[in-house]
Amino acid sequence: MDHVMDMFAVLEDPRAANTQYDLMEILMIALCAVLCGATSCAEMALFGRSRADDLRQFLKLPHGIPSHDTFSKVFRHLDPQKFEEIFSVFMKRFNEALTDQKIISIDGKALRRAYEKGRSCAPQMMVTAWGSEMRMVLGCHAARDGNEAKAALELLEMVDLKGAIVTADALHCNRDMAKSLVEKGADYVLAIKGNQAALLQEAENLFGAKPRKPYAETAAVAHGRREKRRAMVIEDAALADRLGFKGLCAIGRIASQRTIDGKREEAVRYYALSRPLEPAALLHVVRAHWDIENGQHWILDVVLDEDLCRNRKDHGARNLAVLRRLALNILRAEPSKVSLRGKTKQAAWGDCSFLFNLLSYMR
């Protein structure tokens, strides 16, 4: 348990020097509460009061449990940049343990109810680096003023990308992203759409002019849906200089046919590649990118109720979003076959042993 508290101990307390409650203890109670299903500062305080005897096994709590106002004040004023950096340092150890090819997905998620009155069209946004193999968040960073592309570039500075393949949707397909990834020792697979008109035209011309290339194909049937996907890759060493995309050496193309309830849909998508992947590898990497939707976005909303959270003042929404992602990683690291929601129930309903066991996965 000491290593968990040491991680929080480096944070500067944003409150007055004569405050009663220790910052590290507040953060530990909050983390334990979220692991047990708490979704608000009021529930953190309620959890603390109901489990005070258990918490005193590793916390001193000389003044008892803080009120919900104290939890709220801490998360509203805690330095969010430092909190995100601590999260990334913690996850770096997991990232370094991977020996296989790493696929890291970059994507943003709106905090749907984290907005000021009259600003429902502009909720706060968190950009995440998602490790597809571990199914864990490797780093996260808030998009200030809704600028997701800029936040993604800032996030890259917080995550170890060396040797990884980084994937992202068309919003992040730009020269700055390509340059940053190559300089950090990563390869990229970036979706191409109309926001990069010259690149999209080049991709269409390349596949239109070349003879039939070797391809890989997959077919799947699930949830009443039939889908066939065919991938091809064309190398062109001159692409980087011609288009100004650092490292660009190939274009990938995936054509998909999807049939749902007898209705057929077809789509063609292009991808900018800094490594000439085999067609089968391209299919795998693109499929792995979208695990962030089911593995993080959906879990945060369904298990941890992120879309229903109304924290919006100061840095509250941003800091609590980081805390939820930390809790998600801890729940995922625990190896039992119980569902993530089941683990939160087990931590809340049982004795403290399972909860303490969860905390042991923060190495």
Over residues 73-85, the pLDDT tens digits come to 999 999 999 999 9
Distance (Å, rounded) from C-alpha 170 to C-alpha 286?
Answer: 13
Buried b (16+ CB within 10 A) or exposed e, 125-154: bbbbbbbbebbbbbbbbbbeeeebbebbbb
Each residue of 43-63: pLDDT tens digit?
999 999 999 999 999 999 999
111 plus 195 within the same structural domain: yes
> Are 33 and 324 contacting, i.e. CB atoms less than 8 angstroms apart?
no
Residue 305 lies in a domain: no
- Is the pLDDT assigned to residue 96 strictly greater than 70? no
12 plus 64 within the same structural domain: yes
Residue 134 lies in a domain: yes
Residue 312 lies in a domain: no
276 plus 213 within the same structural domain: yes
The dihedral sign for the CA sequence 194, 155, 132, 359: negative
Distance of CA 44 to the CA centre of its chain: 23
Each residue of 297-306: pLDDT tens digit?
999 999 999 9
Residue 8 has a pLDDT of: 81
Residue 18 has a pLDDT of: 80
Residue 55 lies in a domain: yes
131 plus 213 within the same structural domain: yes
Which of 1, 155, 176, 2 lies closest to 88 in space, CA to CA?
A: 155
Band of residue 293 on the pLDDT scale cut at 50, 70, 90: very high
277 plus 354 within the same structural domain: no
Residue 155: domain span: 82-299
Residue 231 has a pLDDT of: 95
33 plus 166 within the same structural domain: no
Give mean pLDDT, residues 174-184.
96
180 plus 32 within the same structural domain: no
Residue 321 lies in a domain: no
> Are 309 and 320 contacting, i.e. CB atoms less than 8 angstroms apart?
yes
178 plus 87 within the same structural domain: yes
Pairing, β 187-192 against β 263-273 = antiparallel
Give mean pLDDT, residues 316-337.
93
Each residue of 118-150: pLDDT tens digit?
676 778 899 999 998 889 999 999 998 889 999
Distance (Å, rounded) from C-alpha 268 to C-alpha 283?
Answer: 13
Residue 26 has a pLDDT of: 96
Give mean pLDDT, residues 94-116.
80
- Is the pLDDT assigned to residue 33 strictly greater than 70? yes
Domain boundary residue, one of 299, 318, 346: 299
276 plus 131 within the same structural domain: yes
Reduced to 3 states (helix: H, G, I; strand: E, B; else coil), residue 187 is: strand
- Is the pLDDT assigned to residue 21 strictly greater than 60? yes
Residue 309 lies in a domain: no
38 plus 110 within the same structural domain: no
Tell me the C-alpha to C-alpha distance, in Å, between residue 259 and each of 204, 228, 293, 316: 25, 9, 21, 44
Which of 114, 121, 176, 161 lies closest to 142 in space, CA to CA?
A: 114
Q: How many domains does the chain have?
A: 2
- Is the pLDDT assigned to residue 248 strictly greater than 70? yes
CATH (domain of 244): 3.90.350.10
The token pair at 321 is: 């979003």
94 plus 143 within the same structural domain: yes
For the chain, the average pLDDT equals: 90
Distance (Å, rounded) from C-alpha 183 to C-alpha 9?
Answer: 33
Each residue of 182-198: pLDDT tens digit?
999 999 999 999 999 99
Distance (Å, rounded) from C-alpha 265 to C-alpha 136?
Answer: 32
Domain boundary residue, one of 280, 299, 318: 299
223 plus 348 within the same structural domain: no
